[in-house]
């Protein structure tokens, strides 16, 4: 089994890929299989969720590119920014991981959440698609530390 312990910046030098759904990209220890069928064991430091395009290095030097696997998601498309903001607010208030883009949001399929979104006046489509949710305020680009100021 190939042992993977190092994270790299996205790179063109990757020779193999590893496709994982979101739930598995959150794990730091994982036994799985590369897209070419080779067995791997991830033993990564806790640096956040693996994203599609991230690269890993195995102990033998092999560079592996991570891909976001397709999974069951609910997709909402809306041209009205206020309605979209309301949906994001209510879903975020329930700590639901959200993938947000211009006029579109996506979350892992859940019939209770689908019903709530429909009650807000939006249409929900079920599909199989890669899921890349927002990383959160404390993991945003350029945000490396969380400080408390007590004056």
Q: How far apart are CA 29 and CA 122, in angstroms?
A: 38
150 has a pLDDT exceeding 80: no
pLDDT tens across 133-147, in order?
Answer: 998 655 544 333 333
pLDDT of residue 136: 67
* Residue where the block lists tokens 């590119």: 65
Q: Is the pTM of this model over 0.85?
A: no
Which domains can be identified in the chain, with CATH numbers?
2-68 (2.60.260.20), 70-137 (3.30.70.790)
Residues contacting 68, CB < 8 A, separation 6+: 19, 20, 21, 22, 25, 51, 52, 130, 131, 132
Two structure tokens written together for 135: 């990383």
Report, as an integer, the average pLDDT of 80-91.
95
Q: What's the pLDDT at 34?
A: 97
From the list 79, 82, 88, 83, the residue with the least C-alpha distance to 107 is: 88
Task: Please tell me the predicted confidence (pLDDT) of residue 44.
Answer: 93
Tens of pLDDT, residue by residue over 122-134, are 999 999 999 999 9
pLDDT, mean of residues 60-78 = 96
């Amino acid at each position: 089994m190939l042992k993977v312990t190092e994270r790299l910046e996205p790179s063109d030098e990757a020779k193999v890929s590893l496709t994982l759904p979101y739930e598995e990209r959150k794990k730091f220890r994982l036994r799985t299989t590369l897209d070419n069928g080779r067995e791997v064991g991830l033993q990564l430091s806790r640096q956040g969720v693996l994203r599609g395009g991230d690269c890993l290095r195995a102990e033998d030097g092999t560079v592996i590119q991570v891909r976001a696997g397709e999974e069951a998601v609910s997709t909402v498309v809306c041209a009205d920014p206020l309605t979209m903001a309301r949906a994001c607010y209510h879903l975020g208030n329930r700590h639901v991981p959200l993938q947000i883009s211009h006029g579109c949001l996506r979350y892992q399929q859940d019939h209770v959440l689908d019903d709530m979104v429909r009650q807000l006046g939006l249409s929900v489509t079920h599909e199989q698609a890669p899921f890349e949710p927002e990383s959160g305020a404390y993991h945003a680009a350029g945000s490396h530390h969380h400080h408390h100021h007590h004056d």
